[in-house]
Structure 1
Amino acid sequence: MNAAFELLGERILWTDAIGNVLSLAVVWLAMRKTLWTWPVQLAGAALLLAASVHADVPGNALKQLLFIALAGFGWLAWSRGTRDHRDLLVRPATVRERVTLLVVLAVGTAAVAELFTHLSWLHIAWSPWANAYVFVGSAIATFAQSRALVDFWIIWMLVDLVGVPLAVKSGLYASAAVYGVFFVLVLLGFTRWRREYRSRQAGFAAQPVG
């Protein structure tokens, strides 16, 4: 956990660096809808958990614990979706699902921010709302990913906008750099999944009736 290297005058933890490399791999794997997405995400979350504990960033550590649990759930969900060598079918969220996700994001952020404010041992009183937003948003994005919803890419974009400055403030520079790369990859992933869904719908529409 203490192993580190110097980069541009900053001390970078190997757990933080390797964990974030695996996190980037998760985005690439998710774009291709491979089941390997989830075990790689689980391993990356475990390493980032170690980095967060060492850096004394318990709020981020709690997020990684949540990722580990959600990775297991997503693994099971995608396993069912690809059973008998079927291709995982992606789709946009329904209006009801989108409203639910947004409500959970808003209410969850407020509730977790209030919790973070009163838990002084978490050492995040300076940014309870930002930490809460990233925590809840990341959980919602991962859940939507497990449901193969195209919208999960959009949620990740919104999380990244806050994740970069938050990681810099916490001293996790590797995480901050990766969040920036994430944003580009997430845009590509969103385009790919949306194109795939539209192509499938066009194929259905072109099929002869009867």
Structure 2
Amino acid sequence: MDFLQWLFEARIPVGDGSLLVREVVGNIFGLLSALGGMRRRVWAWPVGIIGNLLLLTVFLGSVFGAASAANLLGQAGRQVMFIAVSVYGWRQWQASRHRGGQAVVPQWAGTRARLGMVAFLLLGTLALTPLFRLLGSYEPVWADAWTFVGSLLATYGMAKGWVEFWLVWVAVDIVGVPLLFSAGYYASAFMYIFYGAFTLIGFFVWARAQRTAKPGVEILLPDPTLR
């Protein structure tokens, strides 16, 4: 109990402010999960889940922290979504040890799917913004809704093997970074900047792999828990 109390209350002094230890630790677990995912290690999934749980408590600020902390319901909802995906991925990777796994070949989504993704992102943001505002999410609420819908869309695109899912993550980061800075979640904001550069690199890697990959050759998927 003493450790949990320390984890929830501890802060790291930075200049005139401070960072929550659990926000920093949660992002470190996300990074470790990413490294494990790139190496196709099953432990990447439970490590990522721990990071998601910590970040869930961070983004529900007024529930798990000070009363003045900002609630980012879209960011919190992302963590719940990623936990669900991680449980599924954990089971799939464990099972693949016995049946050899399945190949994932990068492919372009096509014009119809691209238009569908754009429509889903815009309409989903419009639909969730008033709901998140009603629940007390941080302003600008549309940005919080955008990051949630975009994260859901990018995760789906990753599962489908669409190269374009990397660009969806870029769109999420462009909105998410200033939102996190304005809400005071500096550790996560800096991590988003790092991920933004990573997603651009990932897009070109997958685009090149799409031209050369063949069925039966396993293409590494990035771990969704690092967002």
TM-score by length of 1: 0.80
1:166 Cα deviation after fit: 0.5
Q: Distance in 2 between matches of 1:192 and 1:4?
A: 38
2:103 to 88, 91, 96: 88
1:190 Cα deviation after fit: 2.2
Is the helix fraction higher in 1 or 2? 1
Match of 1:3 in 2: 10
- Uncovered stretches (5+) of structure 2, i.e. residues with no partner: 1-7, 218-227
Deviates more, 1:172-181 or 1:74-83: 74-83
Match of 2:220 in 1: none
1:117 to 119, 133, 136: 133
Match of 2:5 in 1: none
Match of 2:83 in 1: 68
Greater RCO, CA 8 A, separation 6+: 2
Q: Distance in 2 between matches of 1:173 and 1:9?
A: 13
Q: Distance in 2 between matches of 1:101 and 1:39?
A: 29
Change (3 A) 1:57 1:8: same
Are 1:170 and 2:186 counterparts? no
- Number of aligned positions between the proteins: 201
Q: Is contact 2:106–2:209 with CA below 8 Å preserved after alignment? A: no
Q: Distance in 1 between matches of 2:94 and 2:204?
A: 24
Aligned pairs (5 A) from 1:129-168: 129-168=142-181
Cα deviation, 1:149-200, whole Å, max 9, x if unaligned, reads 3222111111000111000111100011101111111122223233223222
1:86 Cα deviation after fit: 3.7
Q: Is contact 2:166–2:199 with CA below 8 Å preserved after alignment? A: yes
Deviates more, 1:82-91 or 1:160-169: 82-91
Q: Distance in 2 between matches of 1:114 and 1:27?
A: 33
Change (3 A) 1:31 1:185: farther
Match of 2:222 in 1: none
Cα deviation, 1:70-126, whole Å, max 9, x if unaligned, reads 33344456667786334632322432333332221111111001212333xx242x2
Match of 1:208 in 2: none
RMSD: 2.9
Change (3 A) 1:39 1:85: same
Q: Distance in 1 between matches of 2:91 and 2:163?
A: 19
Match of 1:22 in 2: 29
- Uncovered stretches (5+) of structure 1, i.e. residues with no partner: 205-210
Q: Is contact 1:77–1:147 with CA below 8 Å preserved after alignment? A: no
Match of 2:53 in 1: 46
Cα deviation, 1:3-22, whole Å, max 9, x if unaligned, reads 22112333111111111123
Instruction: State the SS of the aligned residue for 1:6.
Output: strand
Change (3 A) 1:92 1:189: same
Change (3 A) 1:73 1:109: farther
Q: Distance in 2 between matches of 1:45 and 1:7?
A: 24
Change (3 A) 1:190 1:76: farther
Q: Distance in 2 between matches of 1:187 and 1:142?
A: 16
Q: Distance in 1 between matches of 2:210 and 2:96?
A: 15
TM-score by length of 2: 0.75
Change (3 A) 1:76 1:153: farther
1:34 Cα deviation after fit: 5.2
